[in-house]
Structure 1
Amino acid sequence: MAPTASPFLDPSPCASAQSLGILQLKRDQLIPVVLSDASSTEYAEGNVVNTRFGSFTHSSLIGKPWGTQILASVVDTGSRGGRSKKRKREANGDGNAAEEVGIAPEEPAKGVVKAATASSGFAHLVPPTPETWTLCLPHRTQVVYTPDYSFIIQKTRLRPGDHIIEAGAGSGSFTHAVARTVFNGYPGLEQPEDEEEQVNGTHARKRKRRQKRHGHVYSFEYHKPRAEQLREELTSHGLDPLVTVTNRDVYEDGFCLDDENAPNADVIFLDLPAPWLALKHLTRTPPPPAVVKSIASDPSANTLEPSTCTPQSPPSTKPFRSPLNPKSTTRICTFSPCIEQVQKTVAAMRSYGWLDIEMFTLEHKRLEVRRERIGLAEEGLRGANPSPATVQEAVQRLRDVEDRAKVFHGLQKEKQEQVMRRAEAKKRGEKLSTMKKESEDKKNIKVEGLPPSKHDRLERAKKDSKSRPLFKEGRLVCRTEPEIKTHTSYLVFAMLPVEWTAEDEEKARRKWV
């Protein structure tokens, strides 16, 4: 039976039930959601994801293409279950409790009630990828972020079909990334077939097609609960055929498994507190006990050269077996937050014969590219800076404010004079009907040449924005983030060539000399 395709490897065009989806609220704020259909919930509108930008029902997410903008829904959270907690307790304790208090038993909701669309709030539905999963996964330890693991994959030359050892799985960020990189098919589905070879148009003989080497990730984790949680996550994500999670102390027990063909690694990644203690297991021949003891006590003080490391059997009764691929060069990367760890690791690498040792550190900053619109004409519009762009605009706005102030004070003065005239007329006993009519006529008269008010300016800007190409206007600016949003880390890279024997030397001499 073929395994179910993982959404991390081959997402379908649309979100489906019982699959993982990612709700993107902002650039760095994402929420993982396992979409549930109507049959898996008792609520009338289905399961709901509540966020600061609104509520999103699972029924509004299922069947939508990836990248769709999902509008928030109006959800009645007070009566979602159809029954109150008291009624549920009474139903669980005594089935006749509802009848005693005179409450008619409620029937469960049939189907899913379509929730009404809210007036505001939206999110985007995006497919699960290692990049999006890194931003929203449950943190059990410090994770390896996208800038780091993308550089590690490039520097170690990891490609489809390779085997990689990962020690220190943690939260599984790096595990998901390298599982996608090494994937070139599921193991066990492709069988070697016989093919006929044609020579001069005739069928000469049959030759057997060589079976393809499938990529695999061998992940080791010392903490048992973290290893079990990672194994459950990989199973739910459909990546368990590509990843083997092992709970083990690699310092003492190494990396070899029961299968003789595993791990057979081409690439190694060590995210450990003391990676130099695990290097004794990552050799092609057993290292001398003196070298192992010296590195365990003080790696930085070790001065033994690789030439002095003659193959010797370790004191253990179990024969030495290398976890490395004997047919290809092995590349390694260690992830350390302190420079003292790097010094000890580099000293141990030199003692065990690793070559081309390099260290890198990454300082990642995002670039924000957007259009900046500045001017008083942008007042009330979204994404603009409504401040004067030129001196002329600032002077004109001051003149408009002064003109409106003059008109306002003039009207106030006229009103005060009118009140005084009415008081004098009242003393003389004159009728006020004529004066009232004059005051009402003055109210209806609009002052010509009066600068527009703030309300008028906002209405005019909103009306003009409908015909303006706002995406083309303004100045294109590019700014970097003020702070680095990744933790400090030092990446040490090295390579271990294929073991060169006398037979290989003689064979190369006969071929090339």
Structure 2
Amino acid sequence: MAPVPSPFLDPGPYATANNLGILQLRRDHLIPAVLSPNADSDYAEGKVENTRFGSFPHSTLVDQPWGTQILASVVDTGSRGKSKKRKRDTKDEGDGTPVAEGEVVKKDLVKAAVASSGFAHLIPPTPETWTLSLPHRTQVVYTPDYSYILQRLRARPGDHIIEAGAGSGSFTHAAVRAVYNGYPGTEDATDQANGDEENAVGMSKKKKRRRRHGGVYSFEYHEPRAKQLQVEIKHHGLDPLVTVTHRDVYNEGFCLDDSSLPDADCIFLDLPAPWQALKHLTRSPPSSAVLKSVASDPSTPTPTASDETPATSHLSDPQKPFRSPLNPRNATRICTFSPCIEQVTKTVSALRSLGWLEIDMVEITAKRLDVRRERVGLQEEGVRGGNAHPASVQEAVQRLRDVEGRAAVFHSLQKEKQEDVMRKAEAKKRGENVDGAQGDKGGKGKKKKVEGVPPSKHDRREQTKKELESRTLFKEGRLVHRTEPELKTHTSYLVFAVLPREWNREDEEKARTKW
């Protein structure tokens, strides 16, 4: 029976129970959750993910298409712990069966009610989203780094990858996706059908070559981190493809616990001292002269007696003959991940002494480009996403004229009002009636001046709202891009090298005969 596909490899069209889902709250704010709607919880709605944008019960996430906008639910966060009832609280409930003190009464789940605000997007898990949301146990390898590393290592379906220094498992998930071509122990139905047909018609009498499944062999020195990674890999459905081993690769090498070999095509070392592990990554046991030259190189620190004895004895122990963890049929590519240039110098020196070729170092400094349309102009006043500043000198001059025109009208009205008050005061002293024709004349004059006033801010916004009905904002403005002000990744130096396959006289004769 074939295992259930991992959501990282085949998420399917919908989110399913007991599988991983990602809640995206913002561009860089993601929350991973194994969807368990029927799990025990203190909430009446079942298991709930509480975020700053609202509460999301798992019952509202299961069976939803990926990419759906999930509305937040009303969850009573103050009712936790109220499911514990005492014996006296159950006299009139249910069938009258007494409940012991402290016993939890399990109720049916309550259907979640939609909240008035708040939402999130439900997206499938990928190595990229997992890198942004995983629980950090160590410094992780980010997407710009591991995408370039896998490309330079030429990782493809069916390859085997050695990873030393698993840490939080960011590179592990990306490597699995790169080499996946099926689960071990299962055969492709199409390949079987084609093989049976060939045998039936006599087209091919040769034995069908067994398919090689890709896999990742991850080594971690820190035992708690190794155990936690094993738990995560199992929850994500990747345990048939990933072998996590707790191992000190500096002294014990890269053979597995069951004495099998990784048969690796690609190697990634994220270690503090990768040059100390390179002596195990050869096709034949290195000679004592080579080991001595590596240790005596000025760029390589001289190992202490405690460090030198286990490694040397492991390579020369007759009870434990040397077994190469590399694929003998193809060239092997390696990448080391180091934050300091001193580490790079020591690693390059060791690679040269052990026969690695095409040594190269790369530094990746990735920046995100924010591409958008920029709409600038006074017609954008009050419009969301617009820059309400003058787009030309003519607009700026016209706005200044409008402001000065309104100011002039305001001051003239104030002056006229003041003159009218003074005139009424003088007429009152003389005992004259000023509420008749003069007042009407003054009112008519005031009305005549108001008609020529430039539009106010309120009037301009009302006019803009009317024009929005016929505007196509997504086509307006200039297409511009801006880079982030600072790097959101850590500096690292990547050292690449290639170790060719061994070539002997038999291989030479076979090549001459064939070609």
Question: In the alignment, which residue of structure 1 is the partner of 2:458?
Answer: 455
Q: Distance in 2 between matches of 1:81 and 1:175?
A: 40
The amino acid that maps onto 2:244 is V
Number of aligned residue pairs: 487
Check if 1:187 corresponds to 2:184. Answer: yes
Question: In the alignment, which residue of structure 2 is the partner of 1:19?
Answer: 19
Q: Distance in 1 between matches of 2:446 and 2:135?
A: 66
Question: In the alignment, which residue of structure 2 is the partner of 1:384?
Answer: 386
TM-score, structure 2 length as denominator?
0.84
Per-residue Cα deviation, 1:130-158 (whole angstroms, up to 9, x for no partner): 11111121111111111111111111111
Contact 2:73-2:112 within 8 A present in 1 as well: no
Q: Once the 2 structures are TM-superposed, how far is the Cα of residue 362 of structure 1 from its aligned partner? A: 1.3
Question: In the alignment, which residue of structure 1 is the partner of 2:216?
Answer: 217
Question: In the alignment, which residue of structure 1 is the partner of 2:279?
Answer: 280
Q: Distance in 1 between matches of 2:49 and 2:444?
A: 58
5 Å-filtered alignment, 1:260-409, equals: 261-296=260-295, 298=297, 300=299, 314-315=316-317, 317-409=319-411
Check if 1:467 corresponds to 2:470. Answer: yes
Q: Once the 2 structures are TM-superposed, how far is the Cα of residue 400 of structure 1 from its aligned partner? A: 1.1
SS state at 1:394 partner? helix
Question: In the alignment, which residue of structure 2 is the partner of 1:143?
Answer: 140
Per-residue Cα deviation, 1:9-37 (whole angstroms, up to 9, x for no partner): 11111223333222333333322233342
Q: Once the 2 structures are TM-superposed, how far is the Cα of residue 246 of structure 1 from its aligned partner? A: 0.6
Contact 1:43-1:109 within 8 A present in 2 as well: no
Q: Distance in 2 between matches of 1:439 and 1:97?
A: 85
24-33 or 408-417, which deviates more: 408-417
Q: Percent identity?
A: 66
Q: Distance in 2 between matches of 1:416 and 1:325?
A: 99
- For the structure 1 residues 357 and 366, does the alpha-carbon distance in structure 2 shift closer, same or farther, using more than 3 Å as the test? same
Check if 1:64 corresponds to 2:78. Answer: no
Question: In the alignment, which residue of structure 1 is the partner of 2:96?
Answer: none
- For the structure 1 residues 469 and 391, does the alpha-carbon distance in structure 2 shift closer, same or farther, using more than 3 Å as the test? same
Q: Distance in 2 between matches of 1:254 and 1:188?
A: 27
201-210 or 273-282, which deviates more: 201-210
- For the structure 1 residues 49 and 258, does the alpha-carbon distance in structure 2 shift closer, same or farther, using more than 3 Å as the test? closer
317-326 or 258-267, which deviates more: 258-267
RMSD, matched Cα: 3.6
Check if 1:507 corresponds to 2:513. Answer: no
Q: Distance in 1 between matches of 2:192 and 2:23?
A: 45
Q: Once the 2 structures are TM-superposed, how far is the Cα of residue 403 of structure 1 from its aligned partner? A: 1.7
Contact 2:219-2:247 within 8 A present in 1 as well: yes
Contact 1:363-1:484 within 8 A present in 2 as well: yes
TM-score, structure 1 length as denominator?
0.84
Contact 1:329-1:497 within 8 A present in 2 as well: yes
SS state at 2:121 partner? strand
Gaps of 5+ in 1: 100-104, 303-311
Contact 1:196-1:207 within 8 A present in 2 as well: no
Q: Distance in 1 between matches of 2:489 and 2:138?
A: 14
Q: Distance in 1 between matches of 2:444 and 2:87?
A: 77
Per-residue Cα deviation, 1:288-340 (whole angstroms, up to 9, x for no partner): 234324434656369xxxxxxxxx97146311111111111111111111111
Contact 2:374-2:479 within 8 A present in 1 as well: yes
- For the structure 1 residues 496 and 198, does the alpha-carbon distance in structure 2 shift closer, same or farther, using more than 3 Å as the test? closer
Q: Distance in 2 between matches of 1:156 and 1:473?
A: 44
Q: Distance in 1 between matches of 2:46 and 2:434?
A: 70
Contact 2:378-2:395 within 8 A present in 1 as well: yes
Contact 2:45-2:109 within 8 A present in 1 as well: no
Q: Once the 2 structures are TM-superposed, how far is the Cα of residue 371 of structure 1 from its aligned partner? A: 1.1
Q: Distance in 1 between matches of 2:38 and 2:452?
A: 64
Q: Distance in 1 between matches of 2:46 and 2:457?
A: 46
Check if 1:37 corresponds to 2:29. Answer: no
Contact 1:43-1:81 within 8 A present in 2 as well: no
